[in-house]
Every structure is written in C-alpha cells, then in structure tokens.
Amino acid sequence: MTCEPVLSTCRNVPTSSGRKMSVTYATTKDLVRDLYPEIEPYQSGFLRVSDLHEIYYEQSGNPHGKPIVYLHGGPGGGTSPRDRRYFDPAVYRIVLLDQRGCGQSRPSAELRENNTWSLVADIEKLREHLKIDRWVVFGGSWGSTLSLTYAETHPKRVKALILRGIFLLRREELLWFYQEGASFLFPDFWEEFLAPIPEVERGDLISAYYRRLTGENDDEKLSHYFVNGGFFDEKDQILKDTYKILEHKIPTFVVQGRYDVVCPMKSAWDLYRAMPTMELHVIVDAGHSAKEDGICSKLIHAADQFRKL
C-alpha cells in the first residue's frame, strides 16, 4: 500500500465575528509516498478494565519514543497491523488498543458495560498502566468521536489530536446515514440494508436494528451506541465542550474527504467553526476511507509534523 502526497491551496474563511480562518484544500497528485514499513509489536497484552471486560493492547515502534495512541473506528471495529504504519517507528511509541467487545478484546461483541464513557475510562486506565504522562491521540470516524471525547475529559493528558472523517454523533448525522440521505446516493445498497426490516418498522431504522441486537450482523451491533445517542448527556455535547481543548491549547489536525458519505464534511466544518485554531485539511477527491491515497498521505504528514512535540 502506498500513499500519494497532496498539493495544497488555502483560502480565508470569515467567521460570524469577522475573524478569518484558513482552510487547506488538497488533491491527490503523482508523487508517491509509502506508509512506514511493516513492524511487529514489541509488547502486547490484556488489561482488565472491569469485572466483565478486558481490552487487548499492543506497543510497537520505539519503547522510549514519543507516545501516540490509535483509536479505531466503528463502533465495533478493531485494529490491524496496518494501523501501526502511519507513524515513524524510530520516533513514536505506538499504542494500539481494541475497544470493549472489539477485535481481540474479551468477551467479544459484549454490549453490557459498553458505552462511550467506559471506553474513555479504558483509554485513561491504559495510559496509567503504561506509565505514560501525555500522548498524541489519533482517530478517524468513530475514532474521532472517541478522541474528541477523551480530550475533552482528560485534556491535560493530550499533547495533540490527529483526526480523520469527523463524526460528532449528532442526530442529524445518524439520520443522514441510517434513515434518509445517503440512501439517495446509494439506492442499490440501501435496498439491501432495508431488506431485513419489515415495512412497518422502517420509520426508525436505527431502533429497528437495535431490536435485532442478538443477531450477528455488524450493522446491528452499531446501533447500540446510536440508539442511545452515544450516551452523551446533551445534544451537541462534543461541540459544546470544545472550549476545554481550546483552553489547553491542544494542537488539532483534521483530515476530511470532500466526498465522505459516511461522515459528511459538515461535521468537520462545524468543528472548525467551534475551534478556529485547528487545522482543517480537505482532500477534494477523497471519500471516507483512511486507505485512500490522499487521506493516507495527509495523516502520515500530520504524524510526522507532531514528531517534534
């Protein structure tokens, strides 16, 4: 897998207060950049985080390097060996973990005691277990949700944020993807998504899938978080709490695909409006996946940029 660097243009964007912000627009170009070489963990294990759950984690790269933690997407995803390769292994102490019920964590697919705040607490327990003072936090899609929430809960422990495909877990985002919106772009796949749900239940597809949580379908597992509104106390909680990130002057680097249908650019734009000091890099010919060349390249660039922190 290779990643292509991108050439950027900037323009100023006026805010409601009259202050101008800059946003970078980039397109994938010809000069190829590789991911860092494949590496193996130098240490891995399981951390008991509750009477029920233990999470898998691993460390690779430089044992004495600068800590960076990778938060995977989902909810319900997991890590892979490729996820180690965004980071310079000579510089970074690379920490990967599988969230509760995900990947190699045990028990698999367990929804009890599984919510956003438990995951945030698990990240902090792992940091303490590894005796890390502060670290860079890296996450995309659902991983961006978790990264932002962790940073707002434990801002003193975050050196920087590298985010991709912003997902703020608001009702409007869920309705776009799971009720009506993306369905206009992908009517063929949408038909398959609707197929298991009786006509009478299709007015609320998230709830319909939630009632089928005992199934094995990954889409059904996702709805555990979505039907509960991410377990947040109020609407727009992530945006309302961005002042904590700003107060602690946490550098924030966001990569967003212009044609991201899963996590549309509006969420990244709303975050940018709330955090005018963050860097927003729009990849104009990309979608959602971190494996797309332009997005991949920009993420590696961000990690390289923070090597000096």
Residue range 229-238, pLDDT digits in tens = 889 988 899 9
Is pLDDT of 214 > 80?
no
**What average pLDDT score do residues 88-115 get?**
95
Known catalytic residues are 141, 260, 288
Residues 6+ apart with CB under 8 A from 86: 35, 36, 70, 138, 296, 299, 300, 303
pLDDT digits (tens, 9 = 90+) for 234-267: 889 999 999 999 999 999 999 999 999 999 999 9
pLDDT category of residue 14 using cuts at 50, 70 and 90: low
84 and 61 Cβ atoms separated by less than 8 Å: yes
Residue 99 DSSP code: P
pLDDT category of residue 82 using cuts at 50, 70 and 90: very high
pLDDT recorded at residue 17: 47
Instruction: Compute the distance between CA of residue 5 and CA of residue 30 in angstroms, rounded to an integer.
Output: 8
77 and 165 Cβ atoms separated by less than 8 Å: no
- What is the pTM (predicted TM-score) of this model? 0.91
